[in-house]
């Protein structure tokens, strides 16, 4: 997303910064606003965070900048962003960048480690890479990459046929499982990003953990297929934690309503019992709009 220019560029973090250190830097570091991500519907700010000689770019979403929604409780989106990270990390799915809840220049908000492919603009600020990370795309049918999962046939703005599709990629497969458990209502193609080391992550998780079934995603390529053994094992451990009051349950209870955490446990248990990726539900849109 384009960012408004700022005066001083943040330094890039060393590639050796591990996850625990990232949590510490985001939680305790000094936040400096760099600019605004102008395509976002809520206040989404590009910032830098500095601690103990390490300065890294991050995304700060203050609660004060959230637009009210009719189907989500007000002033809860930042907490849902953090809950998404807690669920992803706690379940061993590892598809959400490190995200914390903390005070910032505009009040409490979520702060997420910036994921990019190592590119910067003329001001030295980080820029997003290819939308969909080269793994999700809308292409003419004849250009559909071999082995990709075909999701939707449609028409482009010029009336010509196009296909929404995604790669048969193991990280995307785990992301699809995460979305189903978290009840992600907004997995657009552009919410899939890649870092400089080639890791793939999902971002923008404010519309998650609703009590009602709201799963809307472009990652339907495995719908109805059996869960791989490793994913079943991860899900079984998660269900045990959520139903038994483990550390993931405790962290989610601090961020969400207890009913929302109970419903998350139910979704995880239902998917594990079925042993398959869920199919789209009838009577509601299964794909977010726009898809990118």
pLDDT digits (tens, 9 = 90+) for 116-126: 865 666 666 66
Structural domain boundaries enclosing 105 = 1-121
Between residues 274 and 122, the one the model is more confident about:
274
Contacts of 244 (CB under 8 A, 6+ apart): none
pLDDT of residue 226 exceeding 90, the answer is yes
Instruction: Please tell me the distance from the alpha carbon of residue 65 to that of residue 61, in angstroms, as a whole number.
Output: 7
Whole-number pLDDT of residue 12:
45
CA distance 187 to 270: 21
Given a contact cutoff of 8 angstroms between Cβ atoms, the answer to whether 179 and 215 are in contact is: yes
pTM of the entire structure? 0.90
Q: Does a structural domain hold residue 17?
A: yes
Q: What is the tally of structural domains in the chain?
A: 1
> CA 291 to CA 194: how far, in whole Å?
18
Residue 268 and residue 239 in contact, taking contact as beta carbons nearer than 8 Å: yes
Phi-psi region of 209 (alpha: psi -120 to 50; beta: other; left: phi over 0): left
pLDDT (tens digit per residue) in 36-63: 887 777 889 999 999 998 999 999 999 9
What are the tens digits of pLDDT across the range 72-112?
999 999 999 999 999 999 999 999 999 999 999 999 999 99
Grade residue 11 by pLDDT with cuts at 50, 70 and 90.
very low
CB atoms within 10 A of CB 224: 11
Q: What are phi and psi of 284, to 5 degrees?
A: -150, 155
Query: In this predicted structure, what is the pLDDT of residue 121?
Result: 65
The residue-averaged pLDDT of 7-12 equals: 44
């Amino acid at each position: 997303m384009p960012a408004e220019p700022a005066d001083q560029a943040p330094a890039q973090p060393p590639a050796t910064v591990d996850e625990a250190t990232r949590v510490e830097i985001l939680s305790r570091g000094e936040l400096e606003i760099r600019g605004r991500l102008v395509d976002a519907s809520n206040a989404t700010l590009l910032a830098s965070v500095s601690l103990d000689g390490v300065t890294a770019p991050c995304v700060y979403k203050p609660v004060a900048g959230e637009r009210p929604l009719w189907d989500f409780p007000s002033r809860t989106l930042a907490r849902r962003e953090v809950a998404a990270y807690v669920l992803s990390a706690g379940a061993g799915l590892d598809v959400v960048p490190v995200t914390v809840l903390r005070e910032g220049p505009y009040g409490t908000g979520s702060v997420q480690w910036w994921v990019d492919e190592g590119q910067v603009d003329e001001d030295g600020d980080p820029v997003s890479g290819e939308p969909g990370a080269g793994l999700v795309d809308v292409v003419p049918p004849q250009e559909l990459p071999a082995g990709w999962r075909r999701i939707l046939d449609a028409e482009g703005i010029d009336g010509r046929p196009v296909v929404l599709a995604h790669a048969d990629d193991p990280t995307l497969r785990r992301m699809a499982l995460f979305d189903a458990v978290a009840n992600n209502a907004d997995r657009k193609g552009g919410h899939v990003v890649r870092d400089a080391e080639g890791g793939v992550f999902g971002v923008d998780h404010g519309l998650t953990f609703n009590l009602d079934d709201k799963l809307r995603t472009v990652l339907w390529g495995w719908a109805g297929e059996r869960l791989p053994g490793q994913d079943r094992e991860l899900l079984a451990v998660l269900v045990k934690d959520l139903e038994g009051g483990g550390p993931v349950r405790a962290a989610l209870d601090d961020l969400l309503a207890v009913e929302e955490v109970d419903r998350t446990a139910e979704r995880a248990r239902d998917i594990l019992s079925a042993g398959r990726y869920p199919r789209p539900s009838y009577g509601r849109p299964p794909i977010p709009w726009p898809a990118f």
